[in-house]
Amino acid sequence: MFDVNETLSDMSPMADRFAEAGAPAELAQIWFTTLLRDGFAITAAGGNGGFAEIGAEALRVLLARTGIAADPESLVERIMAGLAGLGLHPDVEAGVRELRSAGYRLVTLTNGSVQVAEKLFGPAGLRGQFERLLSVEDAPSWKPARAAYDYAAAVCGVAPEQMLLVAVHPWDIHGAAHAGLSTAWINRTGARYPAYFASPDFTVASLPELPAALGRAGVGAVL
């Protein structure tokens, strides 16, 4: 089971969207971090907010702080539209195809929308490699709450212990581990993994390394 935003999608072009709007390019990362923080806060309080709605409002707040004089709603619309036009990381297509060829069932679970995932996979011809595209919009809560992973397991008809989450986010790895899933961390940047989170079962520098890592550990596909 794959996370989508940043794990599969390359979000670096979002910085260009901010720059085109007259905002600092580095604001893109601050915006995404703010979006996740506030979504997590709503989940912790017992709610389940919409990814796009939280993202747009967080963007309004951040843009207001920059003092940009242009029509803010137009800028919000243009920047948010960038999420639907993102591409895949270069290593994703080969890794996905190798995993599917090895017999693994593949699904996604995103805190965003299924529609964004659909548009992400279309140009690469990868949609058919995935059995299901899942979103926490249909779950009781966002990841990393346990209910999100339990929802995915129930939809797929397996126990959480039969699933492996693949993500670049340590917080997602931590949540999945505490929900009983195995985990694989893609560390494309050589970053340090935070010691306060549950350690991943597998760590790879790119997705095509994962099939061999699973094979060495004797983690076979469930056909």
CB atoms within 10 A of CB 134: 23
In angstroms, rounded to a whole number, what is the distance separating the alpha carbons of residues 115 and 222? 27
Structure tokens, 48: 């389940």
Q: Which residue has the higher pLDDT, 74 or 222?
A: 74
CA angle 125–126–128, rounded 5-degree value: 100
- Residue pair 15/26 in contact (Cβ under 8 Å)? The answer is yes
First to last CA, the chain: 15
Average pLDDT for 118-145: 95
At 5, which amino acid appears? N
Q: What is the pLDDT of residue 99?
A: 97
124 has pLDDT over 80: yes
What are the tens digits of pLDDT across the range 90-115? 999 999 999 999 999 999 999 999 99
Q: What is the pLDDT of residue 66?
A: 79
Which range is least confidently modeled, 76-85, 148-157, 186-195, 207-216? 76-85
Distances (CA, A) of 88 to 121, 126, 222: 8, 10, 26
Average pLDDT for 134-142: 96
Q: Which residue has the higher pLDDT, 123 or 144?
A: 144
What are the tens digits of pLDDT across the range 35-70? 999 999 999 999 999 999 999 999 999 888 877 756
Q: What is the pLDDT of residue 223?
A: 43
